[in-house]
Structure 1
Amino acid sequence: MTHDIYQEVQRALDRAVAEDGVPGIVAEIHDAGETWLGTAGVADLASGRRRRPGEYLHIGSSGKAFTAATVLALAAEGRLSLDDPVSAWLPGVMEAGGYDGDKITVRHLLNHTGGLFLTGLAPELLMSMISWPPPVWTPSELIRLAVSQPPVAGPGERFVYSNGGYYLAGAIIEKVTGDSYAAAVERAVIRPLGLAQTYVRPADATGYPGPHPTGYVTTALKDGVDPAALTAENWASMIDYERPPTDVTALNTSWGWAAGGVVSTTEDLARFLKAIATGTLLPPPQHHEMWTMVDADGAGWLPHARYGLGVIEFDSAALDGLTVRGVSGTLPGSFTLALTTDDGHRSVVIHANIEPKTLNVATDIIKAVYGVSLA
């Protein structure tokens, strides 16, 4: 990779800090055995400490790929099938919320086509995230939350992004293995790939085992907004985006669990993504299932992105025939995007210690690294 590309990526990082209000951001590029790390801004506003290699990062919904890979590993062992109805493993659980667990399958949970509502907008969850101290959510509470509102679509009808499906997938993993979700992910993914700095964050954790950036938020519900009034259509208009940066690093992230509870590093995440993108982690049938995509138009993601099982892939027609695969996740204080070519030869991992207000930095870096525009 030419140094001109590194310089272009560095300019994108600098713009994210100067123009988009990102406190600190890193981009790690792997190409033909060469690794480059660019940084801009700071890891901590109070001390001015810089971003650095090897930081522990909460990767948010990028963790969904770890959940999907664990389910697929169990399928490869013949311990479950993606076509199993949820009721086969969690009898009566979905019916409590008005869902048909006989028709919603494990596959539906993983590709967000089960018709579950947008769990992230549940008033109970939003209120818990602005209370102090925030409660520690248990898996059983999250599973009840997943079906606490009626279906928004029929099984297989359309893509509706919902953490709730992954809460249910986590419960199925525990039912099948007889072990905790964290232990199952360790066995199926983390240990085989040698991800020494990757783990499922304990529900009550408020810190990290080593260097990490301070996470910030500058958004909150506008004064007087009732969380119960939020919908998938109006929530963006209900947010105040101009609050001073608030340190949220010490908040527990128990509500993430199997939908986004993994901590990793840029290096570990690049290794994980290469393994799932190229088929070195899973057998061919399960690798194919992971990358069988559904249309995700209108999901508010990067343009031309489609969704598989915990993963995203860009429409190659929009990228001049190039296939780019990845994972992405946001949560208060963290934004992660990891991308690679399907042969694993060129990858980039981006992390910002805030949820960016725009996707400019992501699209700028994609253009720099892969030479294509998503406009």
Structure 2
Amino acid sequence: MIYTDIQQVLDWAVAEVGVPGIVAEVRDGDRTWFGTAGVADLRTGAPRRPGEHAQIGSGGKAVMAAVLLGLEAEGRLSIDDPVNTYLPGVLDVNGYDGDKITIRHLLSNTGGLFATGLAPELTDRYGTRAAFLEHRFDRFTTEDLFRMTVSQPPVAEPGERFLYANGGFYLAEAMIEKITGTGFAEEAERRVFRPLGMANTYVRPRGETGYRDPHPRAYSRQFFKDGTDMTAVTAENWESLFEEPGLEPLDVTEFDTSWLPGNIVSTTGDMIRLVGALASGTLLPRVQHQKMWTTVSTEGTNWLPHTRYGLGLFEFDKAAADGQALRGVGGSYWGSMFFTVSTADGAHVISVQTNLELRSWEVLSRIFEAGFGASLGA
């Protein structure tokens, strides 16, 4: 099986978009394909290769949702329980109401929380190159993340609309630990990684700033212009404030990512196992699987085009050429972009990783169009 069209997109992403290195792994039934372009290390010229470890970013939200839905299947919670049931008072700040916001709201990004990723606590540390170099090893405690989650007032009533907010998943992780008495890392390993054979996936221990071998170097151009007033950055204008193109990317491989929801490192092969299972329903009981894929619209939110959001995952509103729904997870942050998409039966899965943050939706749309025959242009 040769995916010539996908390989052409990988080559284009390096030559025209400026991605240092990109890989794509495909599972189609019992057949697999792996393609690569560019390099893993700009200094040495080492090529990208199979089995490289990388941060999955917001892909960790899907694992949190799977753990909580598994706990629901055991009768240990309901996803419609209010947050105050498990974390009393944490959300009762700055206009939020922990009796009205539920676990389901957190996992579907419909709790009314503001866009945590644009919080000054993050943008002041990492928004410019100089700030990143000064703060790259700052460590966030759970209390720091809670404070950041409620540091700005609500943007909507609970359940009113979708707005992407990492803060809800900081609370979700804490609830897992409160309910089980063990850490998220242990529950993710026991309930998700081990059952799916994800031997190369792990929750990054607090304080760890590197990666297990093999791994690519990570590079970033995701910086605002020097002198940018971070308080003026919004979900609508952030792209216009980025530094001028043409600057060399900054090596951001060593980076404390304790603020990332889940903080999970994986490989394209393992992510194929995860998303194939979550898309098809082979990991969770039927009732919980249906809840995971009860979706809300993301239209008008400047989020991913052509998507609806479930619990920690998204579904495209356009089907594959064979009529199946396309379901996936994705994450992009400084130095890494990791997207994995599967047909609803879990048989055909494509996983893509770049050692640079998402620079153009067109890279992903071209890959998924080539692989699934679905038109996903912005």
Shared fold per TM-score greater than 0.5: yes
Measure, in 2, the Cα distance between the counterparts of 1:127 and 1:203. 21
Pairwise mapping of residues 187-198 of structure 1 onto structure 2 (< 5 A)?
187-198=190-201
In structure 2, the residue matched to 1:288 is 290
- Find the partner of 2:143 among 122, 140, 147: 140
In structure 2, the residue matched to 1:334 is 336
Pairwise mapping of residues 214-253 of structure 1 onto structure 2 (< 5 A)?
214-242=217-245, 243-253=247-257
Pairwise mapping of residues 118-197 of structure 1 onto structure 2 (< 5 A)?
118-129=115-126, 130=132, 131-197=134-200
In structure 2, the residue matched to 1:117 is 114
Give the superposition deviation at 1:333.
0.5
Give the superposition deviation at 1:323.
0.7
Question: Which stretches in structure 1 are left out of the alignment for 5+ residues?
Answer: none
The one-letter amino acid of 1:244's match is E
Give secondary structure in 1 for the equivalent of 2:272.
Answer: helix
Pairwise mapping of residues 78-117 of structure 1 onto structure 2 (< 5 A)?
78-117=75-114
Give secondary structure in 2 for the equivalent of 1:240.
Answer: coil
Report the more deviating stretch, 34-43 or 353-362: 353-362
Give the superposition deviation at 1:213.
0.6
Residues 312 and 319 of structure 1: CA distance in aligned 2, closer, same or farther (over 3 Å): farther
Residues 268 and 334 of structure 1: CA distance in aligned 2, closer, same or farther (over 3 Å): same
Give the superposition deviation at 1:72.
0.5
1:41 aligns with 2:43: no
Q: Normalising by structure 2, what TM-score?
A: 0.95
In structure 2, the residue matched to 1:73 is 70
Measure, in 2, the Cα distance between the counterparts of 1:275 and 1:339. 11
Give the superposition deviation at 1:241.
4.8
> Does the 8 A contact of 2:318 with 2:376 survive in 1?
no
> Does the 8 A contact of 1:201 with 1:261 survive in 2?
yes
Residues 162 and 133 of structure 1: CA distance in aligned 2, closer, same or farther (over 3 Å): closer
Pairwise mapping of residues 272-287 of structure 1 onto structure 2 (< 5 A)?
272-287=274-289
1:368 aligns with 2:373: no
> Does the 8 A contact of 2:54 with 2:265 survive in 1?
yes
Give secondary structure in 2 for the equivalent of 1:306.
Answer: strand
CA RMSD of aligned residues (A): 1.4
Q: Report the identity percentage.
A: 55
In structure 1, the residue matched to 2:129 is none
Give the superposition deviation at 1:252.
1.0
Q: Normalising by structure 1, what TM-score?
A: 0.95
Residues 302 and 65 of structure 1: CA distance in aligned 2, closer, same or farther (over 3 Å): same
Give secondary structure in 2 for the equivalent of 1:97.
Answer: coil
Give secondary structure in 1 for the equivalent of 2:101.
Answer: coil
In structure 2, the residue matched to 1:315 is 317
The one-letter amino acid of 2:30's match is G
Measure, in 1, the Cα distance between the counterparts of 2:57 and 2:357. 11
Q: Give a deviation string over 1:241-272, Cα, whole Å, max 9, x none.
A: 5231110000111110xx24110011111001
> Does the 8 A contact of 1:137 with 1:203 survive in 2?
no
Number of residue pairs the alignment of both structures matches:
370
Measure, in 1, the Cα distance between the counterparts of 2:121 and 2:304. 28
Give the superposition deviation at 1:372.
2.1
Give the superposition deviation at 1:303.
2.4
> Does the 8 A contact of 2:320 with 2:373 survive in 1?
no
The one-letter amino acid of 1:253's match is T
Measure, in 1, the Cα distance between the counterparts of 2:370 and 2:266. 25
Measure, in 2, the Cα distance between the counterparts of 1:39 and 1:230. 35
> Does the 8 A contact of 1:22 with 1:356 survive in 2?
no
Measure, in 1, the Cα distance between the counterparts of 2:300 and 2:160. 15
Give secondary structure in 1 for the equivalent of 2:297.
Answer: coil
Measure, in 2, the Cα distance between the counterparts of 1:73 and 1:320. 31
Measure, in 2, the Cα distance between the counterparts of 1:34 and 1:301. 33
> Does the 8 A contact of 1:215 with 1:249 survive in 2?
yes
Measure, in 2, the Cα distance between the counterparts of 1:133 and 1:246. 12
The one-letter amino acid of 1:159's match is F
Q: Give a deviation string over 1:263-301, Cα, whole Å, max 9, x none.
A: 001111100111111111100010111111100113334
Measure, in 1, the Cα distance between the counterparts of 2:119 and 2:46. 36
Q: Give a deviation string over 1:316-371, Cα, whole Å, max 9, x none.
A: 46867331111110011000110111111111000000013211111111111111
Measure, in 2, the Cα distance between the counterparts of 1:196 and 1:270. 13
